[in-house]
Structure 1
């Protein structure tokens, strides 16, 4: 890239490039050189905007977490609409999009990145997802759409674990069918949905 050319929204350009590298080549291929090459910018551009590559990766994850916060607000607002199962299936399909799954692997394997993103409990992205589902299920419990004694946190953990297993570890560009996700969700929530009627 010629010097002196103004880049619009460099952060977004670099984040988009990183996501493309993650999707195409996987977390192991994500390097500063791969990102700047994919973004078609000079190598030094990334280091002008971020302290180091782990700082860049931490901001990439935080950007994803901000999107997850928006999703959590929409899911919470959906309590009382459609069925609990339909809302959860849609939430899990959106949550475990290929970029989020790849970022979760990246966080797990990069100690420095994990240290920068440290929270009290849990792995970033999955921990926020757990909180999102716990909040949603608590709202559904308050509306009487699941059993009054339902353990929202335990259900959320089961859904996150089951969802992650369904979506992670697949060949690139393959996703589980909606039927698989629906079966897992309905199995996890069957008891608390049925007992609300008793």
Structure 2
């Protein structure tokens, strides 16, 4: 199966070795990682990239490397992953994203996540897709809301310390096209 997806401005594709350096820079940026427990070392970043790409082989979906269609510049990732065990929706699939700071504020996260959601509902025929973030992460919550996702409850993230201000998390949910209230997505093409 070809996993590449194109939108008007972006290419969602499998990971390349050349993505690792800019991904490590992204993961070392304290502002990008503000709502995560810590920035990542180069080794941790490389491991995350490998695990993100391996999801495609294991599950038939994964976290795509994200590049600008006009420049070919790697700007982060978006895509689908199994929800973590021990949290609400843990038997489901999550849509997520992480973009370099230079790519913020241009609608790329929303455009890429909409493509991932379209893939989830058309190619995988999922009934629903989750997204989670720290309650404090207003930027990501706004992306979720622009995607038509609705809050589905708050929870304490079990992998974070009880003292961490990031521990309170919120879960958002979007139901598939056969469900009432499903917003329409823009055109997305696979190749």
TM-score where L is the length of structure 2 = 0.30
Which has a greater percent of strand?
2
Q: Which has the larger radius of gyration?
A: 1
